[in-house]
Amino acid sequence: MGSGRLRVRDPHGWAHCLTEAVQLFGAATDVVLASHHWPVWGREDALAFLSEQRDLYAYLHDQTLRMINQGLTGPEIAERMQLPPALERAWHTHGYYGSVSHNTKAVYQRYMGWFDGNPARLWAHPPAEAATRYVDFMGGAGEVLRRARQSYAQGDFRWVAEVVHHVLFADPGNTEARALQADALEQLGYGSENGTWRNFYLTGALELRHGSVGTPATTASEDLINTLTLDQLFDSLAIRVDGPRSWDADVTVRWHLGDGRGPSTLRLKNGVLTHVRGLGPAGGEPDVEITLDEPALRGLLLGRAALADLVAQGRARVCGDPARLAELTGHLTEPDPDFAIVTP
């Protein structure tokens, strides 16, 4: 299940597949090569590895559902979940990458979603607004930090991280809160067996001390973009539309790519960018039609080429008002890879 931060995977299905793998290939297996693990050599050890992995995922899945049916919530189940001794003794079931706590919550999320059924959490204030109220109720930032320092001295770093979080979201510039929270997160990181948790804790401490570090990764690399279909590329543009700013926009652009392919139509209306193969809804007239090849279209949509330049180079033909394309793309926003994690 990995870190559980992407789409929640199916541990029940994975356990079933491992059982099937043992049944189909166990008698002929000499080595197992698995992600996040060293290879396992020898048939006996390989089958034990596969079987214990199967039992691990099945246990987490089945016991989470058992406790859901007893009325427990995700965090409550994660705190109670304990592996059987035989699985606990196996080195490869330990939380070096994923963790029992993290994955248990992911199982809960898969079946129950974000809401745990308690109406007190149905319409809670967002973090910054809630933090201001928490700090006020707890006697102000100074009192929260005084008591948090006592908890830190007692080694209750989880509680320090939880309560000082409220001070930071109420007052991100509070230097005492930033220092204490960074120290608490650092201690939690040092004590974490799980690599991804350790990275979260230590990155949070780094951010508090030195500012947001962002990410060196980019989702707009040439190699990645080239693997997207045009439909996927249009979808990637749709999630960049600034909805509120484009509520009143109504722009239709039709693309002609040649090569025997029919037209593709983009329409921005009601803050939604829709794309269809063909003439579009009801076959209405577009504001602008542009004929070009696919590489030129990709460059245009990604901001790597200008329409006027493509026309001047003979790589594009325009029928209608080209300013309407600029109007459409003007409603797109750029992702921010440097957003903060531990401050609002």
Between 304 and 254, the more confident residue is 254
Distance of alpha carbon 255 from alpha carbon 278, whole angstroms? 9
Q: What is the pLDDT of residue 227?
A: 86
- Phi, psi (degrees; rounded to nearest 5) at 273: -95, 110
Q: What is the pLDDT of residue 283?
A: 53
Q: What is the pLDDT of residue 34?
A: 84
Distance of alpha carbon 275 from alpha carbon 286, whole angstroms? 13
Decide: 169 and 141 in contact? Cβ < 8 Å.
no
Distance of alpha carbon 61 from alpha carbon 84, whole angstroms? 14
Q: What is the pLDDT of residue 4?
A: 42
Decide: 178 and 168 in contact? Cβ < 8 Å.
yes
Q: What is the pLDDT of residue 5?
A: 45
Decide: 210 and 338 in contact? Cβ < 8 Å.
no
280 pLDDT band, cuts 50/70/90, is low
| 232-279 pLDDT, tens digit each | 999 999 999 999 999 999 999 999 997 777 899 999 999 999 999 887
3 pLDDT band, cuts 50/70/90, is very low
225 pLDDT band, cuts 50/70/90, is confident
Q: Using the predicted structure, report yes or no on whether residue 328 has a pLDDT greater than 60.
A: yes
Sheet containing strand 272-277, strands side by side: 272-277, 264-269, 250-256, 288-292, 316-320
Measured from the Cβ of residue 24, the count of other Cβ atoms closer than 10 Å reads: 10
112 pLDDT band, cuts 50/70/90, is very high
- Whole-number average pLDDT of the chain: 92
Decide: 266 and 238 in contact? Cβ < 8 Å.
no
Residue listed under structure tokens 């926009």: 249
pTM confidence score: 0.84
Share of the chain above pLDDT 90, in %: 80
| Highest mean pLDDT out of 33-37, 228-232, 275-279 | 228-232
Short-list 262, 269, 267, CA closest to 291: 262
Q: What is the pLDDT of residue 277?
A: 87
Q: Using the predicted structure, report yes or no on whether residue 116 has a pLDDT greater than 70.
A: yes
| SS percent in the chain: helix, strand, coil, step 5 | 55, 10, 35
Q: What is the pLDDT of residue 2?
A: 46
User: Please, which residues bridge with residue 332 across strands?
Assistant: 241
- Residue type (1 letter), 139: G
199 pLDDT band, cuts 50/70/90, is very high
Decide: 169 and 128 in contact? Cβ < 8 Å.
yes
| 176-186 pLDDT, tens digit each | 999 999 999 99
Q: What is the pLDDT of residue 51?
A: 96
Token reading at 77: 């189940």
Between 260 and 193, the more confident residue is 193
26 pLDDT band, cuts 50/70/90, is very high
Q: What is the pLDDT of residue 261?
A: 79
Decide: 123 and 130 in contact? Cβ < 8 Å.
no
Average pLDDT over residues 215-225: 73
Q: What is the pLDDT of residue 7?
A: 65
Distance of alpha carbon 286 from alpha carbon 268, whole angstroms? 11
Q: Using the predicted structure, report yes or no on whether residue 1 has a pLDDT greater than 90.
A: no
| 66-81 pLDDT, tens digit each | 999 999 999 999 999 9
Short-list 69, 71, 78, CA closest to 104: 78
H helix or E strand, kind and range, residue 112: helix 100-112
Q: What is the pLDDT of residue 217?
A: 72
**Could you give the domains of the chain?**
11-112 (no CATH), 127-210 (1.25.40.880), 222-329 (3.30.1050.10)
- How would you label 61-71 residue by residue, b for 16+ Cβ within 10 Å and e otherwise? bebbbebbeee
Average pLDDT over residues 122-133: 96
Token reading at 312: 């001047």
Average pLDDT over residues 218-230: 79
Decide: 106 and 81 in contact? Cβ < 8 Å.
no
